[in-house]
Amino acid sequence: MKEFSAAKKWLDAHEQALLDTLIAWANINSGSSNLVGLKKQAEAVVPVYESWVDDITLHSLPSYMQINEQGHKQAMEAGPLISITHQAQAKKQILLSGHIDTVFAADDAFQETNTQGNILRGPGVADMKGGLIVMYAALRALQETDAAEKLGWQIILNPDEEIGSFSSRKHLIDAAKNKDFGLVFEPALDEQGNLVGARKGSSKITLMARGKAAHAGRDFAQGANAIVAMAQVVQALHSLNGKRDGFILNVGKITGGTAINIVPDLAIVRVNIRYDNIDDLRWFKNKLDSISLHWKQKEDYDLEIQEQPSREPKPLIAGNAKLMGQVIATSAALGHNINYKATGGVSDGNILWQAGLANVDTLGVCGGGLHSDQEYMLVDSIVMRAELTAKLLYDYAHDEWKI
Ligand SMILES: [Zn+2]
- Give the distance from CA 317 to its chain's centroid: 20
- Give the distance from CA 136 to its chain's centroid: 18
Mean pLDDT of the residues in the chain: 97
Reply yes or no: is the peptide bond before residue 128 cis, omega within 30 of 0. Answer: yes
What pLDDT digit, counting tens, does each position of 346-374 carry?
A: 999 999 999 999 999 999 999 999 999 99
Three-state secondary structure call for residue 136: helix
* DSSP strands (E only) in 113-180: 114-116, 119-121, 151-158
How many Å apart are CA 310 and CA 277, to the nearest integer? 12
Q: What is the mean pLDDT of residues 18-32?
A: 98
Q: Would you say residue 58 has pLDDT above 80?
A: yes
How many Å apart are CA 286 and CA 275, to the nearest integer? 15
Pairing of strands 73-76, 64-67: antiparallel
- When pLDDT is cut at 50, 70 and 90, the band that residue 41 belongs to is very high
What pLDDT digit, counting tens, does each position of 212-230 carry?
A: 999 999 999 999 999 999 9
Burial 235-266 (b: 16+ CB within 10 A, else e): eebeebeeeeeebbbebeeeebeeeeeebbbb
Query: Distance, CA 184 to ligand 1 centroid (Å)?
Result: 9
* DSSP strands (E only) in 23-103: 55-59, 64-67, 73-76, 81-86, 92-99
How many Å apart are CA 32 and CA 104, to the nearest integer? 8
Query: Distance, CA 20 to ligand 1 centroid (Å)?
Result: 20
Query: Distance, CA 187 to ligand 1 centroid (Å)?
Result: 7
- Give the distance from CA 306 to its chain's centroid: 21
Query: Distance, CA 371 to ligand 1 centroid (Å)?
Result: 9
How many Å apart are CA 301 and CA 319, to the nearest integer? 48
- Give the distance from CA 263 to its chain's centroid: 40
Query: Distance, CA 208 to ligand 1 centroid (Å)?
Result: 30
- When pLDDT is cut at 50, 70 and 90, the band that residue 121 belongs to is very high
Query: Distance, CA 34 to ligand 1 centroid (Å)?
Result: 16
Query: Distance, CA 202 to ligand 1 centroid (Å)?
Result: 15
Query: Distance, CA 380 to ligand 1 centroid (Å)?
Result: 20
Q: Give pLDDT, residue 2.
A: 86
Q: What is the mean pLDDT of residues 241-245?
A: 97
Query: Distance, CA 185 to ligand 1 centroid (Å)?
Result: 8
List domains and CATH numbers for the chain: 4-199+313-397 (3.40.630.10), 201-307 (3.30.70.360)
Q: Would you say residue 189 has pLDDT above 80?
A: yes
Task: Let me know: does 117 contact 368? Beta carbons within 8 Å.
Answer: no
Q: Give pLDDT, residue 1.
A: 59
What pLDDT digit, counting tens, does each position of 374-395 carry?
A: 999 999 999 999 999 999 999 9
Task: Let me know: does 183 contact 320? Beta carbons within 8 Å.
Answer: no
Q: What percent of the chain has pLDDT over 90?
A: 99
- Count of CA atoms in the C-beta half-sphere (13 A) of 352: 29
Query: Distance, CA 174 to ligand 1 centroid (Å)?
Result: 20
Task: Let me know: does 331 contact 184? Beta carbons within 8 Å.
Answer: no
**Residue 129 class from Cβ within 10 Å (0-12 exposed, 13-18 middle, 19+ buried)?**
buried
Query: Distance, CA 375 to ligand 1 centroid (Å)?
Result: 12
Q: Would you say residue 157 has pLDDT above 80?
A: yes
- When pLDDT is cut at 50, 70 and 90, the band that residue 288 belongs to is very high
Q: Would you say residue 265 has pLDDT above 70?
A: yes
Indicate the residue type of 79: G
Task: Let me know: does 249 contact 273? Beta carbons within 8 Å.
Answer: yes
- When pLDDT is cut at 50, 70 and 90, the band that residue 250 belongs to is very high
